[in-house]
């Protein structure tokens, strides 16, 4: 699990944000550097059929290309590496926009949400479709901010390849590592684009070395830069031995003494030489393609998106070296035999069109008005229209085949992560082919085994209450939250049973802030957020026994349960409570009661005895259990749950707090105040590294101490530092810290 924070301290106002998940990570980001006058949301896209201008290409020309000519590509990187700027250049050079969008001016095609344009960051991934030299490219610009890491993984899940963008002056940064691991998990072939070669401090060699060392990848240097930082002019194409210089005034090749083969003197030899060379280059390119697809190496290119250098060769590399959908191995395709199989990887709610669902089609064909079966929800629903996504604008199309990314209208129940097939019977047939049809026919269980692996949703570590402006507006708030959850499975909503308040649980402060903002803008509701709180955990330090008896007569039925159990600590970070049975409990009784007992133990551990946080690292052993015949499982559950709570209350209790691993990058002059400040935050410094001209402080610090860190770090370092945090583990609080927290929070009941 990781958490990372980052501060862009350039003497500007900034957003503070914190995020924790299994790849927990949080960041802080300056916003004012991008707070120029905003342009209206809609841009004039000459590319859309029927829209102004005919000098740009029509999307219709690329609706149904052969699968081998399709590239489903994501752009991924650490925040601010230049993904959106690179995407803008790609759209410009491929002919789909006539002017270059700029994140600093808030007029990019892919960052189309109001919040994205205002803040200059990508929040939602945007899918754009364009063609390049006869290839159709579906490209997804993913967010770099850690609060939206899950959005990146959802997209990677459905892509065939990715471009990892790096800031050439920083090399591999914290979030690069996170997204790289996600791409490894989903076996995504990649190419690397070392962006910002024009920036002061840019170093091709440093960036390549950091790819080798930190990502443990094998870089294939397809290009070398011509100059670096201010002197960056262009690139050398190593494969074709060409020099690509974007400045037309610079000379080339004068130093070469080699004599050329001339058409006039050696026409035959020249022809043969050209053919041999072309074939050699072709073989070499095939080899690069092969090792890239096999993920044995990563081609590395460089450029500067902002200064318009190196983007066209990047596009060539995407089509040459990244795989087509056909080249990816999807074992489950054989079960479908050409029947529809698709994954819903994104849901958006459009005011006019209702829910828009993005589907990656793995097999079969989608057409408008098609009825589809959703395996996750075990329901059948009908789509009305089929669209080709182009950022926030869409083109209606008659059908779409395997390998493509489609946007559907009319699917009201489908949520992000659901598996879509043509019908229930087709799912059952596929399940039988997969050898999983043994269960009773008609049950959804067998089809469920065909669910495409989704994205793990981590437990949020931040939460706060949310209140509508009046009680009458509560149903509207519930409706808005329900829709937002369909779009974003990393948002969790709970009801506090004691106060009746709605509790929002998110990936970080920015995540919760954006949700709050969207409720206002998209649903017209002014809501009030309670203070953001860190989610602690609880555990016990010694083993204790408890007994409980439940004897209740309901109507003419007597329910009787007597239980004796022991709760005790187990090895750290074992997560959910472990349930065990002592040998003296009969096997029949274990079989009959297992489900009710386990669910009772788990629900009792959801609210710990200290502050109501979940209890972890606990084992519960059932020593004796007596159940009278006719006793309902609900009564058994109630008795066990009460007994576990009794035991937990009796034990010595311990609060656990999230411990973060921290990386602060700072210039040498400011290292002392940074270290002194970290010492006050209960920080534990492990190492201080040198990175180019900067010092990198690496250590651990409790999350609760990091609230407001961005502002302090900015003040301490005159805005020159950045930082990243990764969630490391839950650690026991010291008796002093625990008693301080208990006295601050006394009486509070938390719900998570």
Ligand X SMILES: Nc1nc2c(ncn2[C@@H]2O[C@H](COP(=O)(O)OP(=O)(O)OP(=O)(O)O)[C@@H](O)[C@H]2O)c(=O)[nH]1
Compute the least distance from the CB of residue 190 to ligand X, in Å: 16
Q: Which is nearer to ligand X, 100 or 675 (CB)?
A: 100
Residue 195 assigned to a binding site: yes
Count of beta carbons in the 10 Å neighbourhood of residue 696 = 17
Nearer to ligand X, 43 or 642 (CB): 43
Say how far apart CA 86 and CA 94 lie, in whole Å: 12
Place of tokens 């008796």: 735
CB of 742 to ligand X, least distance (A): 39
Contact 151, 124 (CB under 8 A): yes
Q: How far is the CB of 4 from ligand X (least distance, A)?
A: 13
Cβ proximity to ligand X: between 79 and 565 the closer is 79
Instruction: Report the alpha-carbon distance of residue 387 to residue 446 in Å, rounded.
Output: 32
Residue nearest to ligand X (CB): 144
Nearer to ligand X, 89 or 136 (CB): 89
Nearest to 73 by CA among 347, 452, 403: 403
Q: Is the dihedral of CA 447, 450, 456, 457 positive or negative?
A: negative
Which residue lies nearer to ligand X by CB, 106 or 612? 106
DSSP 411-461: -SS--TT-EEES-HHHHHHHHHHTT---SPTT-THHHHTTPPP----PPPS
Q: Are 212 and 171 in contact (CB under 8 A)?
A: no
617 φ/ψ sector (left φ>0, alpha ψ -120 to 50, else beta): left
Please tell me the number of Cα atoms within 13 Å of 155 on its side-chain side.
Answer: 26
Q: Rounded to the nearest whole angstrom, what is the least distance from the CB of residue 144 to ligand X in the complex?
A: 2
563 in a labelled binding site: no
* 84 assigned binding-site residue: yes
Determine whether the annotation assigns residue 500 to a binding site: no
Query: Residue 144 or residue 189: which is nearer to ligand X going by CB?
Result: 144
142 carries a ligand binding annotation: yes
380 annotated as ligand-binding: no
Would you say 141 is a known binding-site residue? yes
Within 572-617, strands assigned E span 578-581
- Give least dist CB 410 to ligand X, A: 31
Tokens found for residue 139: 């490209």
DSSP string, 339-365: S-EEEEEEEEEETTTEEEEEEEEEESE
Give the SS3 label for residue 598: helix
Residue corresponding to tokens 């499975």: 489
- Min dist CB 540 to ligand X, Å, is 42
Instruction: Considering the complex, state which of residue 85 and residue 637 has its C-beta at the smaller distance from ligand X.
Output: 85
- Minimum Å distance from CB 248 to ligand X? 20
- Dist. CA 707–CA 698, nearest whole Å: 18
Q: How far is the CB of 16 from ligand X (least distance, A)?
A: 15
The CB-of-447 to ligand X minimum distance in angstroms stands at 38
Dihedral-angle region of residue 551 (phi above 0 means left; psi in -120 to 50 means alpha; beta otherwise): beta
At closest approach, how far in Å is the CB of 490 from ligand X? 17
Residue 529: both structure tokens together: 């957020």
Q: At what angle do helices 633-650 and 587-604 cross, to 10 degrees?
A: 60
Q: Is 197 marked within a binding site?
A: yes
- Residue numbers at the binding site for ligand X (CB under 6 A): 77, 79-85, 103-104, 121-122, 143-145, 195-196, 198-199, 304-307
In sequence order, what are the residues at sequence separation of 6 or more whose Cβ sits closer than 8 angstroms to the Cβ of residue 591? none
Instruction: State yes or no: 9 annotated in a binding site.
Output: no
Beta-carbon count within 10 A of 527 CB: 21
Which of residues 25 and 581 has its CB atom nearest to ligand X in the complex? 25
76 is in an annotated binding site: no
* 81 annotated among ligand-binding-site residues: yes
Does 602 appear as a known binding residue? no
Q: What's the CA gap between 460 and 711, in Å, rounded?
A: 24
Strands of 78-160, DSSP E: 126-132, 135-141
> Minimum distance between the CB of residue 316 and ligand X, rounded to whole angstroms?
18
83 is in an annotated binding site: yes
Q: Is 207 annotated as a binding residue?
A: no
Q: Write out the H or E segment, with its range, that includes residue 751.
A: none
Nearer to ligand X, 145 or 190 (CB): 145
Q: Where are the beta strands (DSSP E) in 287-353?
A: 298-302, 341-350
Choose between 137 and 505: whose C-beta lies nearer to ligand X. 137
Q: Quote the longest CA-to-CA distance of the chain.
A: 111
CB nearer ligand X, residue 304 or residue 722: 304
Annotated binding site for GTP: 77-84, 141-145, 195-198
Annotated binding site: 77-84, 141-145, 195-198
């Amino acid at each position: 699990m990781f958490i990372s924070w980052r501060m862009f301290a350039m003497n500007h106002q900034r957003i503070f944000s914190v995020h924790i998940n299994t790849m927990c990570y949080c960041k802080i980001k300056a916003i004012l550097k991008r707070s120029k006058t905003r342009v209206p949301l809609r841009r004039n896209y000459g590319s859309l059929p029927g829209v102004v201008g005919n000098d740009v290409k029509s999307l219709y020309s690329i609706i149904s290309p052969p699968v081998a000519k399709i590239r489903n590509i994501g752009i991924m990187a650490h925040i601010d590496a230049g993904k959106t700027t690179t995407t803008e250049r790609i759209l410009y050079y491929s002919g789909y926009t006539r002017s270059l969008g700029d994140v600093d001016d808030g007029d990019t095609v892919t960052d189309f949400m109001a919040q994205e344009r205002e803040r200059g960051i990508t929040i939602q991934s945007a899918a754009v479709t364009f063609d390049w030299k006869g290839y159709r490219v579906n490209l997804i610009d993913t967010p770099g901010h850690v609060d939206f890491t899950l959005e990146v993984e959802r997209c990677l899940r459905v892509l065939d390849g990715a471009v990892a963008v790096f800031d050439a002056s920083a090399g591999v940064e914290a979030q690069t590592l996170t997204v790289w691991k996600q791409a490894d998990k989903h076996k995504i072939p990649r190419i690397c684009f070392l962006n910002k070669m024009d920036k002061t401090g840019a170093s091709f060699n440093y960036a390549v070395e950091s790819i080798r060392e930190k990502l443990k990848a094998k870089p294939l240097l397809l290009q070398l830069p011509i100059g670096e930082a201010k002197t960056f002019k262009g690139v050398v194409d190593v494969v074709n031995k060409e020099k690509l210089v974007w400045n037309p005034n610079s000379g080339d090749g004068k130093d070469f003494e080699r004599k050329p083969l001339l058409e006039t003197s050696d026409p035959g030899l020249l022809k043969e030489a050209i053919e041999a060379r072309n074939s050699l280059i072709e073989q070499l390119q095939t080899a690069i393609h092969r090792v890239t697809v096999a993920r044995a190496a990563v081609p590395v290119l460089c450029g500067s998106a902002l200064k318009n250098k190196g983007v066209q060769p990047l596009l060539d590399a995407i089509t040459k070296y990244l795989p087509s959908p056909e080249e990816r191995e999807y074992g489950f395709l054989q079960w479908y035999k050409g029947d529809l199989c698709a994954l819903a990887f994104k849901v958006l709610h459009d005011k006019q069109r209702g829910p828009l669902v993005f589907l990656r089609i793995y097999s079969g064909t989608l057409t408008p008005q098609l009825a589809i079966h959703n395996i996750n929800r075990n329901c059948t629903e009908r789509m009305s229209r089929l669209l080709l996504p182009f950022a926030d604008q869409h083109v209606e199309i008659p059908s779409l085949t395997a390998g493509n990314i489609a946007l559907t209208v009319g699917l009201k129940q489908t949520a992000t992560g659901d598996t879509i097939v043509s019908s229930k019977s087709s799912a059952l047939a596929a399940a039988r082919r997969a050898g999983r049809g043994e269960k009773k026919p008609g049950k959804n269980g067998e089809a469920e085994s065909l669910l495409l692996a989704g994205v793990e949703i981590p437990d949020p570590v931040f939460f706060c209450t949310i209140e509508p402006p009046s009680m009458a507006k509560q149903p509207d708030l519930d409706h808005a939250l329900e829709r937002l959850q369909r779009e974003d499975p990393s948002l969790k909503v709970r009801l506090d049973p004691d106060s009746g308040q709605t509790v929002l649980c998110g990936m970080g402060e920015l995540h919760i802030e954006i949700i709050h903002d969207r409720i206002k803008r998209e649903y017209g509701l002014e809501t009030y957020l309670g203070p953001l709180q860190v989610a602690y955990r609880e555990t016990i330090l010694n083993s204790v026994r408890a007994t409980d008896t439940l004897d209740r007569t309901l109507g003419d039925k007597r329910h009787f349960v007597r239980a004796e159990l022991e709760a005790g600590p187990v090895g750290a970070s074992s997560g959910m409570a472990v349930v065990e049975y002592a040998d003296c409990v009969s096997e029949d009784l274990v079989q009959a009661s297992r489900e009710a007992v386990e669910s009772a133990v788990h629900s009792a551990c959801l609210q710990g005895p200290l502050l109501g946080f979940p209890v972890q690292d606990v084992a519960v052993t059932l020593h004796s259990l007596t159940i009278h015949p006719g006793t309902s499982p609900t009564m058994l559950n109630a008795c066990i749950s009460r007994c576990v709570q009794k035991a937990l209350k009796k034990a010595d209790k311990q609060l656990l707090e999230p411990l973060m691993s921290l990386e602060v990058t700072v210039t040498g002059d400011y290292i002392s105040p940074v270290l002194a400040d970290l010492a006050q935050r209960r920080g534990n410094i492990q190492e201080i590294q040198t990175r180019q001209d900067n010092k990198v402080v690496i250590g651990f610090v409790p999350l609760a101490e990091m609230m407001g860190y961005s502002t302090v770090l900015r003040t301490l370092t005159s805005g020159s530092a950045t930082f990243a945090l990764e969630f490391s583990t839950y650690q026991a609080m010291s008796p002093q810290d625990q008693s301080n927290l208990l006295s601050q929070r006394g009486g509070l009941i938390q719900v998570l």
